Chains A and B, each alone.
Chain A
Amino acid sequence: MKIHEYQAKTLMAARGIPVPLGRAATTVEEAAAAARPLIEESGNPVVVLKAQIHAGGRGKGTFQEHRDLRGVNVIADGIDGGPEAAEARVAELAAMMLGSTLVTVQTGPEGKVVNRVYLEQGIDIARELYLAVLLDRSVSRNVVMASTEGGVEIEKVAEETPEKILRQEIDPAIGLADFQANELAVGLGIEGDTAKAFIGFVKGLDRAATELDTDLIEINPLVVTGGGQVMALDGKMAFDDNALFRHPDVAAMRDESEEDPAEVAAKEAGLNYIKLDGTIGCLVNGAGLAMATMDTIKHVGGEPANFLDVGGGADEGQVTTAFQIITKDPAVKGIFVNIFGGIMRCDVIATGIVAAVRNVGLSVPLVVRLEGTNVEKGKEIIRESGLDVVAADSLRDGAEKIVDLV
Chain B
Amino acid sequence: MSILVGKDTRVLIQGLGRTGQFHTDKAIAYGTQMVGGVHPSRSGAVAHFEGETDHSGVPGRDDNYSVDLPVFATVKQAVAETGANASVVYVPPPFAADAIMECAAAGLDLVVAITEGVPVADMIKAKRYLADKPTRLVGPNCPGVITPGECKIGIMPGYIHQRGRIGVVSRSGTLTYEAVYQLTLNGLGQTTAVGIGGDPVNGTNFVDMLRMFEDDPETEGVIMIGEIGGTAEEEAAEFVASGMSKPVAGFIAGTTAPPGKRMGHAGAIVSGGKGTAEAKIEAMVAAGIVMAETPSDMGEAMARALG
Question: Do A and B bind?
Answer: yes
Q: Known A242-B120, A289-B178; judge A137-B231 contact (CB<8 A).
A: yes
Q: Which of B120, B293, B296 contacts A135 (CB 8 A)?
A: B120
Interface residues of A in 234-252 (CB under 8 A from B): 240-243, 245-246
Q: Which of A171, A307, A394 contacts B263 (CB 8 A)?
A: A307
Q: Which of B120, B181, B201, B263 contacts A291 (CB 8 A)?
A: B263
Whether the Cβ atoms of A292 and B295 lie closer than 8 Å is yes
Q: Which of A59-67, A69-77, A293-301, A358-366 contacts B (4 or more CB under 8 A)?
A: A293-301
Flag whether A195 is at the interface (Cβ < 8 A): no
Q: Which of B44-52, B78-86, B99-107, B169-177 contacts A (4 or more CB under 8 A)?
A: B169-177
Q: Which of A141, A213, A245, A395 contacts B295 (CB 8 A)?
A: A395
Whether the Cβ atoms of A288 and B225 lie closer than 8 Å is yes
Smallest CB separation, A283 vs chain B (Å): 13
What is the 8 Å Cβ interface bit string for chain A, positions 146-185, against chain B (1 contact, 0 not)?
0000000011001100000000000111000000000000
Whether the Cβ atoms of B295 and A290 lie closer than 8 Å is no
Complex Cα–Cα for A141 and B200 (A):
10
Smallest CB separation, A355 vs chain B (Å): 21
Nearest CB in chain A to that of B22: its residue:
A343
Interface residues of B in 87-136 (CB under 8 A from A): 93-94, 116-125, 127-128
Interface SS of chain A: mixed
Smallest CB separation, A101 vs chain B (Å): 18
B-side contacts of A387, CB under 8 Å: none
Whether the Cβ atoms of B227 and A288 lie closer than 8 Å is yes
Q: Known A285-B174, A313-B19; judge A274-B263 contact (CB<8 A).
A: yes
Nearest CB in chain A to that of B116: its residue:
A312
Nearest CB in chain B to that of A296: its residue:
B294
Whether the Cβ atoms of B157 and A288 lie closer than 8 Å is no
Interface centre among B122, B174, B178, B200 (most CB of A within 10 A): B174
Q: Known A296-B296, A342-B173; judge A274-B261 contact (CB<8 A).
A: yes
Interface residues of A in 188-211 (CB under 8 A from B): 210
Whether the Cβ atoms of B121 and A342 lie closer than 8 Å is no
Smallest CB separation, A236 vs chain B (Å): 12
What is the 8 Å Cβ interface bit string for chain B, positions 248-279, against chain A (1 contact, 0 not)?
00010111111011011111100011000000
Whether the Cβ atoms of A394 and B296 lie closer than 8 Å is yes
Flag whether B164 is at the interface (Cβ < 8 A): no
Q: Known A287-B263, A371-B181; judge A295-B93 contact (CB<8 A).
A: no
Whether the Cβ atoms of A299 and B127 lie closer than 8 Å is no
Flag whether A142 is at the interface (Cβ < 8 A): yes
Whether the Cβ atoms of A243 and B227 lie closer than 8 Å is no
Interface residues of B in 216-230 (CB under 8 A from A): 225, 227-228, 230
Whether the Cβ atoms of A140 and B127 lie closer than 8 Å is yes
Nearest CB in chain A to that of B177: its residue:
A340
Whether the Cβ atoms of B93 and A291 lie closer than 8 Å is no
Smallest CB separation, B249 vs chain A (Å): 15
Flag whether A316 is at the interface (Cβ < 8 A): no
Flag whether B198 is at the interface (Cβ < 8 A): yes
A-side contacts of B227, CB under 8 Å: 287-288, 291
Complex Cα–Cα for A243 and B125 (A):
14
Interface centre among B119, B230, B273 (most CB of A within 10 A): B119
Q: Which of B143, B155, B256, B267 contacts A295 (CB 8 A)?
A: B256
Give the total of B residues in contact with A, Cβ under 8 Å: 63
Flag whether A396 is at the interface (Cβ < 8 A): yes
Whether the Cβ atoms of A289 and B121 lie closer than 8 Å is no
Q: Known A137-B201, A274-B263, A291-B253; judge A341-B157 contact (CB<8 A).
A: yes
Flag whether A226 is at the interface (Cβ < 8 A): no
A-side contacts of B273, CB under 8 Å: 155, 159
Whether the Cβ atoms of A172 and B125 lie closer than 8 Å is yes
Complex Cα–Cα for A290 and B228 (A):
12
Flag whether A276 is at the interface (Cβ < 8 A): yes
Q: Known A137-B200, A291-B227, A371-B181; judge A213-B121 contact (CB<8 A).
A: yes
A-side contacts of B272, CB under 8 Å: 154-155, 158
Nearest CB in chain A to that of B273: its residue:
A155
Interface centre among A135, A142, A241, A292 (most CB of B within 10 A): A292
Complex Cα–Cα for A137 and B273 (A):
15
Flag whether A372 is at the interface (Cβ < 8 A): yes
Nearest CB in chain A to that of B251: its residue:
A292
Flag whether A272 is at the interface (Cβ < 8 A): yes
Whether the Cβ atoms of B155 and A342 lie closer than 8 Å is yes
A-side contacts of B257, CB under 8 Å: 291, 294, 307
Smallest CB separation, B221 vs chain A (Å): 21
Flag whether A30 is at the interface (Cβ < 8 A): no
Complex Cα–Cα for A173 and B19 (A):
33
Given contacts A291-B228, A291-B254, 16 further A-B contacts (CB under 8 A): A137-B200, A154-B272, A155-B273, A242-B120, A287-B263, A288-B175, A291-B268, A292-B251, A298-B255, A298-B256, A312-B19, A312-B116, A342-B155, A343-B23, A395-B294, A397-B296
A-B contact pairs, 24 of them (CB 8 A): A137-B231, A137-B232, A138-B232, A140-B127, A142-B124, A154-B272, A171-B128, A172-B121, A240-B119, A243-B122, A276-B258, A286-B264, A288-B172, A288-B198, A289-B178, A291-B227, A291-B253, A298-B255, A312-B19, A312-B116, A342-B173, A343-B23, A371-B160, A396-B295
Interface residues of A (CB under 8 A from B): 106, 135, 137-138, 140-142, 154-155, 158-159, 171-173, 210, 213, 215, 240-243, 245-246, 272, 274, 276, 284-292, 294-296, 298-300, 304, 307, 309, 311-313, 340-343, 371-373, 394-397, 399
User: Can you list the 6 inter-chain pairs with the closest CB atoms, starting with the nearest?
Assistant: A288-B172, A287-B264, A286-B174, A396-B296, A289-B174, A243-B119
